[in-house]
Amino acid sequence: MHEMSIALAVVGQVETAARVVAGDDTGASAPKARSVTLRVGELAGVVPDSLRFCFELACADSLLVGAELHVETVAGRARCAPCDADWATGLPPDLCCPRCGSGASQLTAGRELEIAEVRWGQPARTATPKED
């Protein structure tokens, strides 16, 4: 299941970004992520429900614990070089040009796998000793 490796990579990248923003390598003052939005192409070979499950597991003991994962599906599209037609590939993908019948020259969308947005919450707080 490669969705787990994807989820772990997303968590790692978001944690790194939080630490850079906070200027804190320990993560003590880094903001916690409330939600992460991923753009996932329908031709990327990723199962969104599996990715959501793996994301929840990958967030444990991280700055993303409790964060929601939103998945935006990007439809597959192809373009034919000979006749310049553009079409939705669908699932399973239809890679033959509906206008002239030639093979698709280029997939123009549908293989995306990117972090589109992170919504941040309050910084993680470390316990501070009480003053007497």
70 is in an annotated binding site: no
Flag whether 83 is marked binding: yes
* Calpha distance 59→51 (Å, rounded): 12
Max Cα-Cα span within the chain = 82
54 is annotated as contributing to ligand binding:
no
Question: 97 among the known binding-site residues?
Answer: yes
Strands (E), the chain: 31-41, 68-74, 77-79, 86-88, 106-109, 113-123
SS (H, E, C) 60-94: CCCCCCCCEEEEEEECCEEECCCCCCEEECCCCCC
Question: Which residues define the annotated binding site for Zn(2+)?
Answer: 80, 83, 97, 100
Question: Which residues define the annotated binding site?
Answer: 2, 80, 83, 97, 100
Question: Which residues define the annotated binding site for Ni(2+)?
Answer: 2
